[in-house]
Amino acid sequence: MSKKISGFSKFTKEEKINWLAENYFKNSSITIATIKQYWNDTEKLQELHDDFIENTISNFYLPLGVAPNFLINDEEYAIPMVTEESSVVAAASLVAKFWSTKGGFKTTVLGTTKIGQVHFIYAGEKDSLETYFNNNKSKLYAATASITKNMEKRGGGILDIQLVDKTDALENYYQLHITFETKDSMGANFINSCLEAIATQFRTDEIEIVMSILSNYVPECLVRAEVSCKIEDLGGEDPQKFAEKFYQAVKIAEVEPYRAVTHNKGIMNGIDAVVIATGNDFRAVEAGAHAYAARLGRYTSLSHCSIDNGIFKFWLELPLAVGTVGGITALHPLAKLSLEMLQKPSAKDLMQIMATAGLAQNFAALRALTTKGIQHGHMKMHLQNILNQLGVTHLEKEEITKYFDGKTVSHAAVVSKFNTLRETLN
C-alpha cells in the first residue's frame, strides 16, 4: 500500500504525528508518547520552536555544556558548547585550565570580508561586456541603496563589485564577484537580497542570470588563535620529547590528507559546539573551513606547530563567518543565554572565542594521541553510555566502572559483567 501523501504541510502537528505513527511505526502509542515527551511544557516556547522549520513534530535535544577557565587575550570566559560527542567538553575544559597558567590563548581577527556572486552567461564580445559593466557599476550600488542603508550606518555594506571572466572553466560563464562587510550580523539574508537587486539591475537581453547567492567560502574572513610557552613548562615526565612528538603529529596532518581530515574534524568538534550553542550556521562554518584547508590544491591541516629556541608554539588560522545579531541568535532562548554567558560578544569577539575552542580541542586530541592514546578518554564516556542504556543502579554503575578501570571496554563485555553482577546480587 502506498504511503504517498499530499497536503502534509497543511496538517496540524497532531495530524502529522498520527499519520507518521500509523504508517511508519509498529507501536503508534509509544511513538506518539515519545515524540510528545520532548515538547516544551510552555506552549509559547513550543510554538517558537515549531516556527524555526517546516513540518515540526517535536524537539531533538542535544546537551548544552560549559567549558570554564578559558583565558583569551587576558579575558576569562566560560564557553557554552552544544554537542553529542562524548569528552569534547571535558577535553576543552582541561586544556583551557592547562593554558590558563601559561598566558592563555592569544587571538587576532585577520579580516571580516564576506563574499556573494551573481553567476551569469554571456555569449557576446568580452570588451562590450566590460564596457557595459564599467558604465553601469554605480547603478549596481544604487540598486541596493534601500537594502544597505541600515548596514552602512553600522559601518558595513558593499565593499566592491568586480566582473570576473570564468570562460576558461565553463563556456560563456562570467560572474559579478561582490565583497561585503556585515559587522555583527552573519549577513546571509542581507547579502542575498543585495545580490538579487544587483542581478535585476545588471541583466539584459544578452546577459542571462543563472543565480545569485552568497558564498560560504570566505578566505578573507579569517581568525587566528595560538598558544605558546617554554618547552619545560609543558610539564610531564619528558616535556622535550612530548613537544617533538606533538610537532611531528601536526606535520603528519599537514602532509597526509587522510590524517588531515580527522585532524580538522577534531578542530571542528570544538568550533561547531560553540557555533550551535550561539545559534549560528555550523554547516556554513564547516564548508568554509574545509574549503580553506584545501585552498592550495591539496587538503591539509588547519593548525600548525613550531619549536624554536626552546619555545613551543601551536596555532590555527581559519575562516569563520558568524554573527551575534539576527536569525536564531535573537530567537532561541538558549542561544541568547549562550551569548550572554560570553559577555555579549561582537561578531569579531565570537570568531576569536570559537577559534580558541577549536585550538583547545585539537591540542587535547593531539596530546592524547601522542601519549596514552585517544581511546583512553573516549572509552570512559562509552562505558557510561552503555551503563545508562542498561539502566543500572548507582551502586552497579560504581562497581562496573571500577571493574573496567584499565580494561578494554566493549558493549558485549559490559553487558556480560552487568548480567553477572545482577545474578550475584539476586
378 is an active site residue: yes
Of the residues 106, 137, 265, 417, which is catalytic? 265
pLDDT value of position 378: 56
pLDDT value of position 283: 97
Domain assignment present for residue 3? The answer is no
Residues 145 and 97 in one domain: no
Residues 138 and 187 in one domain: yes
Residues 121 and 172 in one domain: yes
Domain assignment present for residue 327? The answer is yes
pLDDT value of position 238: 95
Domain assignment present for residue 262? The answer is yes
Cell numbers at residue 193, please?
537580497
pLDDT value of position 373: 62
Cell 534601500 sits at which residue?
146
- Residue that finishes a domain, picked among 215, 235, 257: 215
Residues 366 and 324 in one domain: yes
Residues 104 and 211 in one domain: no
Domain assignment present for residue 368? The answer is yes
Indicate the number of domains in the chain: 4
Q: Look up the pTM and report it.
A: 0.89
Residues 186 and 44 in one domain: no
Whether residue 319 contacts residue 218, with contact meaning beta carbons closer than 8 Å, is answered with: yes
Residues whose CB is less than 8 angstroms from the CB of residue 260 and which lie 6 or more positions away in sequence, other chains included:
253, 254, 293, 299, 300, 301
Residues 91 and 227 in one domain: yes
Residues 94 and 202 in one domain: no
- Residue that finishes a domain, picked among 215, 238, 257: 215
Of the residues 281, 290, 348, 349, which is catalytic? 281
pLDDT value of position 376: 55
Backbone angles phi, psi at 238, to 5 degrees: -140, 85
Of the residues 75, 85, 125, 160, which is catalytic? 85
Secondary-structure percent of the chain, ordered helix, strand, coil, rounded to 5 = 50, 20, 30
Domain assignment present for residue 55? The answer is no
168 is an active site residue: no
Domain assignment present for residue 151? The answer is yes
Domain assignment present for residue 57? The answer is no
pLDDT value of position 416: 86
Residues 367 and 381 in one domain: no
Residues 152 and 267 in one domain: no
* Cα–Cα nearest to 157, from 100, 112, 96: 112
Q: What is the residue range of 40's domain?
A: 8-50
Q: How confident is the prediction along the chain (426 residues), in pLDDT tens digits per residue? A: 678 899 999 999 999 999 999 999 999 999 999 999 999 999 999 999 999 999 999 999 999 999 999 999 999 999 999 999 989 999 999 999 999 999 999 999 999 999 999 999 999 999 999 999 999 999 999 999 999 999 999 999 999 999 999 999 999 999 999 999 999 999 999 999 999 999 999 999 999 999 999 999 999 999 999 999 999 999 988 999 999 999 999 999 999 999 999 999 999 999 999 999 999 999 999 999 999 999 999 999 999 999 999 999 999 999 999 999 988 888 999 999 999 999 999 999 999 999 999 999 999 999 999 998 655 555 666 777 788 888 888 888 888 888 887 777 888 888 888 888 887 766
245 is an active site residue: no
Backbone angles phi, psi at 249, to 5 degrees: -65, -40
Whether residue 277 contacts residue 81, with contact meaning beta carbons closer than 8 Å, is answered with: yes
pLDDT value of position 159: 98
Residues 232 and 257 in one domain: yes
Residue 72 belongs to domain with CATH number = 3.90.770.10
Domain assignment present for residue 176? The answer is yes
Residues 170 and 89 in one domain: no
85 is an active site residue: yes
pLDDT value of position 380: 67
Residue 155 belongs to domain with CATH number = 3.30.70.420
Of the residues 378, 380, 397, 417, which is catalytic? 378
CB atoms within 10 A of CB 81: 25
